[in-house]
Chains A and B, each alone.
Chain A
Amino acid sequence: MIEQFEPTIIGFTCNWCSYRAADLAGTARLKYPPNIRLIRLMCSGRLDPTFVLQAFALGADGVMLTGCHPGECHYIEQNYKALRRYMLLQRLLAQMGIEPERLKLVWASAAEGAKFAEEVTRFVEQIRALGPLNWGDKVQVSSGKSQVTNDNEMQAPSPVTRPLPRRCPHEYQRQS
Protein backbone atom coordinates (compact mmCIF):
# COMPACT_ATOMS: atom_id res chain seq x y z
CA MET A 1 0.00 0.00 0.00
CA ILE A 2 1.30 3.39 -0.91
CA GLU A 3 1.46 5.71 2.03
CA GLN A 4 -0.85 8.65 1.61
CA PHE A 5 0.76 12.07 1.33
CA GLU A 6 -0.15 14.10 4.40
CA PRO A 7 0.20 17.78 3.53
CA THR A 8 1.15 20.39 6.08
CA ILE A 9 -1.17 23.36 5.98
CA ILE A 10 -0.90 26.66 7.77
CA GLY A 11 -4.13 28.53 8.41
CA PHE A 12 -4.32 32.18 9.34
CA THR A 13 -7.46 33.13 11.22
CA CYS A 14 -8.86 36.39 12.46
CA ASN A 15 -9.59 36.69 16.13
CA TRP A 16 -13.23 37.63 15.73
CA CYS A 17 -14.78 35.50 13.02
CA SER A 18 -12.79 32.64 11.61
CA TYR A 19 -10.93 31.73 14.81
CA ARG A 20 -14.33 31.63 16.48
CA ALA A 21 -15.64 29.52 13.64
CA ALA A 22 -12.78 27.13 14.37
CA ASP A 23 -13.72 27.23 18.05
CA LEU A 24 -17.32 26.54 17.14
CA ALA A 25 -16.33 23.61 14.95
CA GLY A 26 -14.59 22.27 18.03
CA THR A 27 -17.48 22.92 20.39
CA ALA A 28 -19.78 21.15 17.94
CA ARG A 29 -17.27 18.26 17.66
CA LEU A 30 -17.22 18.52 13.87
CA LYS A 31 -14.36 16.50 12.40
CA TYR A 32 -11.79 17.67 9.90
CA PRO A 33 -8.33 16.40 8.97
CA PRO A 34 -5.48 17.23 11.38
CA ASN A 35 -3.24 18.63 8.66
CA ILE A 36 -4.01 22.27 9.38
CA ARG A 37 -2.24 24.30 12.05
CA LEU A 38 -3.70 27.68 12.85
CA ILE A 39 -2.13 31.03 13.57
CA ARG A 40 -4.40 33.59 15.16
CA LEU A 41 -4.20 37.19 14.00
CA MET A 42 -6.38 40.01 15.22
CA CYS A 43 -7.74 40.58 11.72
CA SER A 44 -7.24 39.21 8.24
CA GLY A 45 -5.95 42.72 7.51
CA ARG A 46 -2.92 41.85 9.66
CA LEU A 47 -1.95 39.27 7.12
CA ASP A 48 1.41 40.26 5.73
CA PRO A 49 2.13 38.47 2.42
CA THR A 50 5.55 37.74 3.94
CA PHE A 51 3.85 35.25 6.28
CA VAL A 52 2.46 33.33 3.33
CA LEU A 53 5.75 33.29 1.42
CA GLN A 54 7.60 32.26 4.55
CA ALA A 55 5.12 29.46 5.24
CA PHE A 56 5.66 28.04 1.76
CA ALA A 57 9.42 28.54 1.93
CA LEU A 58 9.67 26.76 5.27
CA GLY A 59 7.77 23.69 4.23
CA ALA A 60 4.01 24.30 4.19
CA ASP A 61 2.21 22.64 1.29
CA GLY A 62 -0.78 24.93 1.45
CA VAL A 63 -1.86 28.13 3.17
CA MET A 64 -5.41 29.03 4.07
CA LEU A 65 -6.33 32.62 4.80
CA THR A 66 -9.58 33.21 6.61
CA GLY A 67 -11.47 36.26 7.73
CA CYS A 68 -14.86 37.75 8.39
CA HIS A 69 -17.28 37.94 5.49
CA PRO A 70 -17.02 41.05 3.33
CA GLY A 71 -18.94 43.80 5.05
CA GLU A 72 -18.80 42.05 8.42
CA CYS A 73 -15.26 42.79 9.46
CA HIS A 74 -14.84 43.48 13.14
CA TYR A 75 -12.62 46.35 12.05
CA ILE A 76 -15.22 47.50 9.52
CA GLU A 77 -13.41 46.94 6.22
CA GLN A 78 -9.95 45.53 6.81
CA ASN A 79 -10.82 42.17 5.28
CA TYR A 80 -11.06 43.97 1.94
CA LYS A 81 -7.39 44.84 2.28
CA ALA A 82 -6.71 41.16 2.86
CA LEU A 83 -8.70 40.40 -0.28
CA ARG A 84 -6.67 42.86 -2.36
CA ARG A 85 -3.38 41.46 -1.12
CA TYR A 86 -4.56 37.92 -1.66
CA MET A 87 -5.49 38.66 -5.26
CA LEU A 88 -2.13 40.22 -6.05
CA LEU A 89 -0.29 37.51 -4.14
CA GLN A 90 -2.03 34.85 -6.21
CA ARG A 91 -0.63 36.43 -9.36
CA LEU A 92 2.84 36.52 -7.85
CA LEU A 93 2.72 32.90 -6.67
CA ALA A 94 1.79 31.76 -10.15
CA GLN A 95 4.94 33.45 -11.45
CA MET A 96 6.99 31.71 -8.79
CA GLY A 97 5.74 28.30 -9.85
CA ILE A 98 3.41 27.81 -6.90
CA GLU A 99 -0.04 26.63 -7.96
CA PRO A 100 -2.57 29.30 -7.00
CA GLU A 101 -4.70 26.49 -5.53
CA ARG A 102 -2.18 26.19 -2.72
CA LEU A 103 -3.34 29.51 -1.33
CA LYS A 104 -6.98 29.74 -0.42
CA LEU A 105 -9.07 32.57 0.95
CA VAL A 106 -12.14 31.62 2.96
CA TRP A 107 -14.62 33.93 4.60
CA ALA A 108 -16.12 32.37 7.71
CA SER A 109 -18.24 34.12 10.31
CA ALA A 110 -18.15 33.22 13.97
CA ALA A 111 -21.31 31.20 13.37
CA GLU A 112 -19.89 29.11 10.56
CA GLY A 113 -18.17 26.30 12.38
CA ALA A 114 -19.55 23.80 9.92
CA LYS A 115 -18.35 25.83 6.97
CA PHE A 116 -14.90 26.11 8.51
CA ALA A 117 -14.66 22.35 8.97
CA GLU A 118 -15.90 21.72 5.43
CA GLU A 119 -13.50 24.20 3.88
CA VAL A 120 -10.53 22.72 5.73
CA THR A 121 -11.52 19.21 4.68
CA ARG A 122 -11.86 20.25 1.06
CA PHE A 123 -8.60 22.19 1.11
CA VAL A 124 -6.63 19.30 2.57
CA GLU A 125 -7.92 17.06 -0.20
CA GLN A 126 -7.06 19.66 -2.80
CA ILE A 127 -3.48 19.96 -1.51
CA ARG A 128 -3.16 16.23 -1.22
CA ALA A 129 -4.03 15.98 -4.90
CA LEU A 130 -1.43 18.62 -5.78
CA GLY A 131 1.29 16.75 -3.92
CA PRO A 132 4.12 18.08 -1.77
CA LEU A 133 5.67 21.48 -2.38
CA ASN A 134 8.98 20.84 -0.58
CA TRP A 135 10.23 24.35 -1.13
CA GLY A 136 13.00 24.26 1.43
CA ASP A 137 14.29 20.90 0.20
CA LYS A 138 14.45 22.18 -3.35
CA VAL A 139 16.55 25.13 -2.40
CA GLN A 140 19.10 22.83 -0.82
CA VAL A 141 19.07 20.14 -3.49
CA SER A 142 19.39 22.63 -6.28
CA SER A 143 22.56 24.25 -5.12
CA GLY A 144 23.96 21.08 -3.68
CA LYS A 145 24.11 17.63 -5.18
CA SER A 146 23.96 18.41 -8.87
CA GLN A 147 27.18 20.38 -8.87
CA VAL A 148 30.52 18.67 -9.14
CA THR A 149 33.81 20.43 -8.91
CA ASN A 150 37.44 19.60 -8.53
CA ASP A 151 38.00 22.40 -6.15
CA ASN A 152 38.81 20.86 -2.81
CA GLU A 153 37.22 23.54 -0.74
CA MET A 154 33.78 23.28 -2.28
CA GLN A 155 32.67 19.67 -2.65
CA ALA A 156 29.15 20.61 -1.68
CA PRO A 157 28.23 24.16 -2.52
CA SER A 158 26.24 25.69 0.26
CA PRO A 159 22.48 25.56 0.33
CA VAL A 160 20.55 28.75 -0.17
CA THR A 161 20.21 30.36 3.18
CA ARG A 162 18.52 33.58 3.98
CA PRO A 163 20.29 35.75 6.52
CA LEU A 164 18.53 38.07 8.92
CA PRO A 165 16.93 41.20 7.62
CA ARG A 166 19.66 43.77 7.58
CA ARG A 167 19.75 46.97 9.51
CA CYS A 168 21.49 50.20 9.02
CA PRO A 169 23.59 51.23 12.01
CA HIS A 170 22.09 54.01 13.99
CA GLU A 171 24.47 56.70 12.86
CA TYR A 172 23.39 56.23 9.27
CA GLN A 173 19.76 56.84 9.94
CA ARG A 174 18.21 60.09 8.89
CA GLN A 175 21.26 61.94 7.85
CA SER A 176 20.26 65.32 6.69
Chain B
Amino acid sequence: MSTNGNHNKPKFAMYWAASCGGCEIAVLNIHEKILDMDANFDVVFWPVAMDAKYKDVEAMPDESILLTLFNGSIRNDENEHIAKLLRRKSKILVAFGSCACEGCVPALANLSSTREIFDAAYESVSTDNPEHLRPIPAYAMPEGEIRIPEFYPTIRTLDQVVQVDYYMPGCPPESHQIAAVIDLVVQVLQGKAELPPAGSVIGAFGSTVCDECKRTRDVKKIKSFARIQDFRPDPALCLLEQGILCSGPATRSGCGALCPLAGAPCVGCYGPANGALDYGARLLSAIASVIDSNDPEEIDTILDGIPDPAGSFYRFNLAGSVLHANRKAWN
Protein backbone atom coordinates (compact mmCIF):
# COMPACT_ATOMS: atom_id res chain seq x y z
CA MET B 1 0.00 0.00 0.00
CA SER B 2 1.76 3.04 -1.15
CA THR B 3 0.91 6.41 -2.55
CA ASN B 4 3.90 6.00 -4.83
CA GLY B 5 2.39 3.00 -6.54
CA ASN B 6 1.08 2.72 -10.03
CA HIS B 7 -0.69 5.97 -10.83
CA ASN B 8 -2.76 4.24 -13.48
CA LYS B 9 -4.45 2.17 -10.86
CA PRO B 10 -7.86 3.45 -9.71
CA LYS B 11 -7.69 5.46 -6.52
CA PHE B 12 -9.17 4.33 -3.23
CA ALA B 13 -9.96 6.29 -0.06
CA MET B 14 -11.38 5.41 3.29
CA TYR B 15 -12.40 7.85 5.99
CA TRP B 16 -13.38 7.61 9.61
CA ALA B 17 -15.87 10.22 10.84
CA ALA B 18 -17.84 9.81 14.09
CA SER B 19 -17.35 6.13 14.71
CA CYS B 20 -15.45 3.65 16.83
CA GLY B 21 -12.92 2.37 14.31
CA GLY B 22 -14.36 -1.10 14.12
CA CYS B 23 -15.09 -0.68 10.44
CA GLU B 24 -11.43 -0.09 9.71
CA ILE B 25 -10.58 -3.24 11.63
CA ALA B 26 -13.18 -5.17 9.69
CA VAL B 27 -11.58 -4.07 6.43
CA LEU B 28 -8.18 -5.18 7.64
CA ASN B 29 -9.80 -8.42 8.76
CA ILE B 30 -10.38 -9.57 5.19
CA HIS B 31 -7.00 -11.27 5.38
CA GLU B 32 -5.19 -11.87 2.11
CA LYS B 33 -7.96 -10.14 0.18
CA ILE B 34 -6.26 -6.95 1.30
CA LEU B 35 -3.53 -7.82 -1.19
CA ASP B 36 -6.13 -7.83 -3.97
CA MET B 37 -7.00 -4.34 -2.92
CA ASP B 38 -3.42 -3.22 -3.06
CA ALA B 39 -2.95 -4.89 -6.41
CA ASN B 40 -5.98 -3.20 -7.89
CA PHE B 41 -6.10 0.14 -6.12
CA ASP B 42 -3.90 3.06 -5.39
CA VAL B 43 -4.75 4.06 -1.82
CA VAL B 44 -4.63 7.84 -1.77
CA PHE B 45 -6.28 8.67 1.53
CA TRP B 46 -6.84 6.49 4.58
CA PRO B 47 -5.98 8.37 7.76
CA VAL B 48 -6.14 5.30 9.99
CA ALA B 49 -3.65 3.42 7.85
CA MET B 50 -1.36 6.04 6.42
CA ASP B 51 -0.43 9.65 6.75
CA ALA B 52 -2.32 12.13 4.60
CA LYS B 53 -3.31 15.75 4.77
CA TYR B 54 -6.75 17.17 3.97
CA LYS B 55 -5.07 19.72 1.73
CA ASP B 56 -3.67 16.88 -0.39
CA VAL B 57 -7.20 15.66 -0.98
CA GLU B 58 -8.39 19.19 -1.67
CA ALA B 59 -5.73 19.43 -4.32
CA MET B 60 -6.93 16.34 -6.18
CA PRO B 61 -9.08 16.79 -9.26
CA ASP B 62 -12.82 16.27 -8.71
CA GLU B 63 -14.00 12.68 -9.15
CA SER B 64 -10.43 11.48 -9.26
CA ILE B 65 -10.98 8.88 -6.52
CA LEU B 66 -12.85 5.89 -7.87
CA LEU B 67 -14.04 4.40 -4.60
CA THR B 68 -14.38 5.92 -1.14
CA LEU B 69 -15.55 3.90 1.82
CA PHE B 70 -16.85 6.44 4.30
CA ASN B 71 -17.49 5.16 7.78
CA GLY B 72 -18.76 7.12 10.72
CA SER B 73 -21.62 9.55 11.11
CA ILE B 74 -21.63 13.34 10.94
CA ARG B 75 -21.12 14.71 14.42
CA ASN B 76 -19.26 17.96 13.78
CA ASP B 77 -18.32 20.39 11.06
CA GLU B 78 -15.07 18.59 10.36
CA ASN B 79 -17.01 15.39 9.56
CA GLU B 80 -19.30 17.34 7.29
CA HIS B 81 -16.42 19.14 5.59
CA ILE B 82 -14.66 15.89 4.76
CA ALA B 83 -17.88 14.22 3.70
CA LYS B 84 -18.48 17.00 1.19
CA LEU B 85 -14.87 17.02 0.13
CA LEU B 86 -14.79 13.29 -0.49
CA ARG B 87 -18.13 13.43 -2.23
CA ARG B 88 -16.65 15.92 -4.67
CA LYS B 89 -13.45 13.99 -5.19
CA SER B 90 -15.05 10.52 -5.49
CA LYS B 91 -16.82 8.75 -8.28
CA ILE B 92 -18.35 6.17 -5.97
CA LEU B 93 -19.09 7.07 -2.37
CA VAL B 94 -20.10 4.20 -0.13
CA ALA B 95 -21.72 4.75 3.26
CA PHE B 96 -19.71 2.07 4.98
CA GLY B 97 -20.99 0.59 8.20
CA SER B 98 -23.92 1.37 10.41
CA CYS B 99 -22.71 4.84 11.52
CA ALA B 100 -22.53 6.20 8.01
CA CYS B 101 -25.69 4.38 6.91
CA GLU B 102 -27.99 5.14 9.79
CA GLY B 103 -26.16 6.73 12.73
CA CYS B 104 -25.47 3.61 14.80
CA VAL B 105 -24.81 3.77 18.55
CA PRO B 106 -23.24 7.26 18.45
CA ALA B 107 -26.58 8.55 17.21
CA LEU B 108 -28.24 7.56 20.48
CA ALA B 109 -26.75 10.89 21.53
CA ASN B 110 -29.65 12.36 19.55
CA LEU B 111 -31.79 11.49 22.56
CA SER B 112 -29.93 14.14 24.57
CA SER B 113 -29.32 17.84 24.24
CA THR B 114 -25.82 19.12 23.53
CA ARG B 115 -25.69 20.37 27.08
CA GLU B 116 -26.53 16.96 28.48
CA ILE B 117 -23.91 15.34 26.27
CA PHE B 118 -21.26 17.80 27.43
CA ASP B 119 -22.34 17.35 31.04
CA ALA B 120 -21.86 13.62 30.68
CA ALA B 121 -18.49 14.03 28.98
CA TYR B 122 -17.02 16.83 31.08
CA GLU B 123 -18.77 16.72 34.46
CA SER B 124 -19.63 13.15 35.30
CA VAL B 125 -18.17 11.38 38.36
CA SER B 126 -15.53 9.68 36.29
CA THR B 127 -14.24 12.94 34.87
CA ASP B 128 -11.41 14.90 36.47
CA ASN B 129 -12.18 18.44 35.40
CA PRO B 130 -11.80 20.77 38.41
CA GLU B 131 -11.80 23.90 36.26
CA HIS B 132 -15.05 22.87 34.55
CA LEU B 133 -13.51 23.28 31.15
CA ARG B 134 -15.77 23.00 28.12
CA PRO B 135 -14.80 22.93 24.47
CA ILE B 136 -14.81 26.34 22.80
CA PRO B 137 -15.04 26.10 19.02
CA ALA B 138 -13.00 29.25 18.38
CA TYR B 139 -10.45 30.80 20.73
CA ALA B 140 -8.36 33.90 20.24
CA MET B 141 -4.69 33.41 21.06
CA PRO B 142 -1.89 35.93 20.68
CA GLU B 143 -0.75 33.91 17.70
CA GLY B 144 -4.19 34.11 16.15
CA GLU B 145 -7.58 32.35 16.37
CA ILE B 146 -7.48 28.65 16.90
CA ARG B 147 -10.43 26.37 16.19
CA ILE B 148 -11.66 22.93 16.99
CA PRO B 149 -14.48 21.25 15.08
CA GLU B 150 -17.89 22.57 16.01
CA PHE B 151 -20.18 20.09 17.67
CA TYR B 152 -23.54 19.79 15.91
CA PRO B 153 -26.80 19.45 17.89
CA THR B 154 -27.61 16.13 16.28
CA ILE B 155 -25.75 13.32 14.59
CA ARG B 156 -26.59 12.85 10.95
CA THR B 157 -26.10 9.98 8.58
CA LEU B 158 -23.83 10.43 5.58
CA ASP B 159 -26.74 10.60 3.15
CA GLN B 160 -28.30 13.38 5.21
CA VAL B 161 -25.28 15.46 4.23
CA VAL B 162 -24.22 14.30 0.77
CA GLN B 163 -25.53 12.01 -1.90
CA VAL B 164 -24.47 8.44 -1.35
CA ASP B 165 -24.05 5.87 -4.10
CA TYR B 166 -24.14 2.67 -2.09
CA TYR B 167 -24.88 1.60 1.42
CA MET B 168 -23.03 -1.15 3.18
CA PRO B 169 -24.63 -1.86 6.55
CA GLY B 170 -23.32 -3.60 9.64
CA CYS B 171 -21.55 -2.75 12.84
CA PRO B 172 -19.13 -3.46 11.44
CA PRO B 173 -19.90 -4.96 8.02
CA GLU B 174 -18.97 -8.62 8.14
CA SER B 175 -15.55 -9.27 6.64
CA HIS B 176 -16.83 -11.91 4.23
CA GLN B 177 -19.30 -9.38 2.90
CA ILE B 178 -16.54 -6.77 2.52
CA ALA B 179 -14.44 -9.31 0.66
CA ALA B 180 -17.40 -10.09 -1.61
CA VAL B 181 -17.90 -6.40 -2.38
CA ILE B 182 -14.19 -5.94 -3.14
CA ASP B 183 -14.36 -8.97 -5.39
CA LEU B 184 -17.29 -7.40 -7.16
CA VAL B 185 -15.57 -4.06 -7.61
CA VAL B 186 -12.46 -5.78 -8.96
CA GLN B 187 -14.62 -7.72 -11.40
CA VAL B 188 -16.30 -4.50 -12.49
CA LEU B 189 -12.87 -2.99 -13.08
CA GLN B 190 -11.96 -5.98 -15.20
CA GLY B 191 -15.18 -5.63 -17.14
CA LYS B 192 -16.55 -8.92 -15.84
CA ALA B 193 -19.49 -7.55 -13.82
CA GLU B 194 -21.71 -4.51 -13.57
CA LEU B 195 -22.30 -2.23 -10.64
CA PRO B 196 -25.68 -2.52 -8.94
CA PRO B 197 -28.11 0.40 -9.40
CA ALA B 198 -27.13 3.56 -7.55
CA GLY B 199 -28.66 3.85 -4.09
CA SER B 200 -28.52 0.09 -3.52
CA VAL B 201 -27.59 -1.66 -0.34
CA ILE B 202 -24.56 -3.85 -0.97
CA GLY B 203 -22.86 -6.46 1.13
CA ALA B 204 -26.17 -7.67 2.56
CA PHE B 205 -29.28 -9.61 1.54
CA GLY B 206 -32.90 -8.72 0.97
CA SER B 207 -34.68 -10.51 3.81
CA THR B 208 -34.21 -10.30 7.57
CA VAL B 209 -31.96 -12.02 10.07
CA CYS B 210 -34.54 -14.73 10.83
CA ASP B 211 -33.97 -15.93 7.28
CA GLU B 212 -30.46 -17.00 8.29
CA CYS B 213 -31.27 -17.97 11.87
CA LYS B 214 -31.45 -21.70 12.46
CA ARG B 215 -33.46 -21.55 15.69
CA THR B 216 -36.86 -23.23 15.47
CA ARG B 217 -39.81 -20.89 15.35
CA ASP B 218 -43.46 -21.14 16.28
CA VAL B 219 -46.24 -18.56 16.39
CA LYS B 220 -45.43 -15.74 18.76
CA LYS B 221 -47.26 -14.84 21.95
CA ILE B 222 -45.33 -12.78 24.44
CA LYS B 223 -46.49 -12.73 28.05
CA SER B 224 -43.36 -11.13 29.49
CA PHE B 225 -40.00 -9.83 28.39
CA ALA B 226 -36.74 -11.03 29.85
CA ARG B 227 -33.04 -10.69 29.21
CA ILE B 228 -30.58 -13.49 28.58
CA GLN B 229 -28.98 -13.09 31.99
CA ASP B 230 -32.36 -13.60 33.70
CA PHE B 231 -32.78 -17.26 32.82
CA ARG B 232 -31.28 -20.04 30.75
CA PRO B 233 -32.83 -19.69 27.28
CA ASP B 234 -33.60 -22.77 25.25
CA PRO B 235 -30.63 -23.01 22.85
CA ALA B 236 -32.70 -24.24 19.93
CA LEU B 237 -35.83 -22.09 20.18
CA CYS B 238 -36.45 -18.62 18.75
CA LEU B 239 -35.26 -16.07 21.31
CA LEU B 240 -38.20 -13.74 20.78
CA GLU B 241 -40.61 -16.55 21.62
CA GLN B 242 -38.75 -16.86 24.90
CA GLY B 243 -39.46 -13.20 25.66
CA ILE B 244 -36.02 -11.93 24.69
CA LEU B 245 -36.21 -8.73 22.70
CA CYS B 246 -34.48 -9.90 19.52
CA SER B 247 -34.33 -7.46 16.62
CA GLY B 248 -33.80 -10.22 14.09
CA PRO B 249 -37.27 -10.06 12.50
CA ALA B 250 -36.77 -6.43 11.47
CA THR B 251 -33.07 -6.44 10.67
CA ARG B 252 -31.63 -6.93 7.19
CA SER B 253 -30.07 -10.30 6.57
CA GLY B 254 -26.46 -10.73 5.54
CA CYS B 255 -24.58 -11.20 8.78
CA GLY B 256 -25.30 -14.93 9.01
CA ALA B 257 -27.44 -14.44 12.15
CA LEU B 258 -24.26 -14.51 14.20
CA CYS B 259 -25.70 -13.12 17.43
CA PRO B 260 -28.87 -15.21 17.78
CA LEU B 261 -26.96 -18.34 16.81
CA ALA B 262 -24.48 -17.55 19.57
CA GLY B 263 -27.31 -17.16 22.06
CA ALA B 264 -27.44 -13.36 22.13
CA PRO B 265 -30.40 -11.48 20.68
CA CYS B 266 -29.92 -9.61 17.41
CA VAL B 267 -29.34 -5.94 18.14
CA GLY B 268 -30.18 -4.72 14.66
CA CYS B 269 -26.86 -3.48 13.32
CA TYR B 270 -27.65 -4.38 9.70
CA GLY B 271 -30.46 -1.86 9.73
CA PRO B 272 -33.91 -1.91 8.16
CA ALA B 273 -35.03 -4.42 5.59
CA ASN B 274 -35.83 -3.41 2.04
CA GLY B 275 -38.26 -0.55 1.78
CA ALA B 276 -38.76 0.09 5.51
CA LEU B 277 -39.16 3.79 6.16
CA ASP B 278 -38.52 3.57 9.88
CA TYR B 279 -36.70 0.61 11.38
CA GLY B 280 -37.80 1.24 14.95
CA ALA B 281 -41.45 1.58 14.05
CA ARG B 282 -41.33 -1.71 12.14
CA LEU B 283 -39.82 -3.53 15.08
CA LEU B 284 -42.02 -1.80 17.63
CA SER B 285 -45.15 -2.64 15.68
CA ALA B 286 -44.17 -6.28 15.32
CA ILE B 287 -43.26 -6.71 18.97
CA ALA B 288 -46.34 -4.90 20.26
CA SER B 289 -48.61 -6.91 17.96
CA VAL B 290 -47.59 -10.24 19.46
CA ILE B 291 -48.02 -9.20 23.09
CA ASP B 292 -50.43 -11.76 24.45
CA SER B 293 -52.98 -9.65 26.26
CA ASN B 294 -56.01 -7.51 25.54
CA ASP B 295 -56.14 -5.92 28.95
CA PRO B 296 -54.57 -2.45 29.08
CA GLU B 297 -53.25 -2.95 32.59
CA GLU B 298 -51.64 -6.27 31.77
CA ILE B 299 -50.19 -4.86 28.53
CA ASP B 300 -48.71 -2.05 30.58
CA THR B 301 -47.08 -4.53 32.94
CA ILE B 302 -45.68 -6.54 30.03
CA LEU B 303 -44.33 -3.36 28.44
CA ASP B 304 -42.47 -2.57 31.63
CA GLY B 305 -40.19 -5.37 30.44
CA ILE B 306 -38.91 -2.97 27.75
CA PRO B 307 -37.45 -0.26 29.98
CA ASP B 308 -35.87 1.71 27.13
CA PRO B 309 -37.95 1.50 23.96
CA ALA B 310 -36.01 4.19 22.07
CA GLY B 311 -32.70 2.54 22.91
CA SER B 312 -34.05 -0.92 22.10
CA PHE B 313 -35.77 -0.12 18.83
CA TYR B 314 -33.37 2.53 17.54
CA ARG B 315 -30.09 1.23 18.84
CA PHE B 316 -28.50 1.60 15.39
CA ASN B 317 -31.03 3.69 13.55
CA LEU B 318 -31.92 6.85 15.42
CA ALA B 319 -30.22 9.33 13.08
CA GLY B 320 -31.76 7.62 10.08
CA SER B 321 -35.21 7.34 11.66
CA VAL B 322 -38.26 9.40 10.86
CA LEU B 323 -38.05 11.45 14.05
CA HIS B 324 -34.23 11.62 13.94
CA ALA B 325 -33.76 12.97 17.46
CA ASN B 326 -35.40 13.89 20.72
CA ARG B 327 -36.97 17.32 20.52
CA LYS B 328 -34.65 18.68 23.16
CA ALA B 329 -31.61 17.95 21.00
CA TRP B 330 -32.57 21.02 19.00
CA ASN B 331 -33.57 23.33 21.82
Contacts and interface: CB of A to CB of B under 8 A. Distances in A.
B153 A50 contact: no
A20 B131 CA distance: 65
Interface string A60-83: 000000000010000001001101
A95 B329 CA distance: 12
Interface in A145-176: 146-151, 153-154, 157-158, 160-175
A168 B328 contact: no
B150 A149 contact: yes
Nearest to A57: B322
B224 interface: no
Given A50-B322, A92-B310, A165 B80 contact: no
Interface in B191-212: 196-197, 199-202, 204-207, 211
Contacts of A146: 153
Contact of B303 (A57, A88, A161, A169): A88
Interface in A121-145: 133, 135, 138-139, 141-143
A36 B204 CA distance: 42
Nearest to B291: A84
Main secondary structure of the interface of B (DSSP, over half): mixed
Given A57-B323, A77-B294, A158-B160, A172 B309 contact: no
Interface in B148-171: 150, 152-154, 156, 159-161, 164, 167
Given A97-B328, A166-B200, A83 B206 contact: no
A30 interface: no
A146 B154 CA distance: 12
A165 B309 contact: no
Nearest to B162: A158
Interface string B294-331: 10100110010010111001000000111111111110
B287 interface: yes
User: What class of interface size applies to chain A in its complex with B?
Assistant: 35 or more
A39 interface: no
Contacts of B161: 157-158
B327 A163 contact: no
Interface of B: 77, 80-81, 84, 111, 147, 150, 152-154, 156, 159-161, 164, 167, 196-197, 199-202, 204-207, 211, 252, 272, 274-278, 280-282, 284-285, 287-289, 291, 293-294, 296, 299-300, 303, 306, 308-310, 313, 320-330
Given A57-B322, A163-B160, A169-B201, 7 more contacts: A84-B299, A87-B303, A142-B329, A161-B160, A162-B320, A167-B200, A167-B275
The 5 closest A-B pairs by CB, nearest first: A97-B327, A173-B206, A142-B330, A169-B196, A95-B310
23 contacts: A54-B278, A54-B322, A80-B294, A84-B288, A84-B293, A84-B299, A87-B288, A87-B300, A87-B303, A95-B310, A97-B327, A133-B327, A139-B325, A142-B153, A151-B77, A162-B322, A162-B324, A164-B199, A165-B272, A166-B199, A168-B201, A169-B202, A173-B205
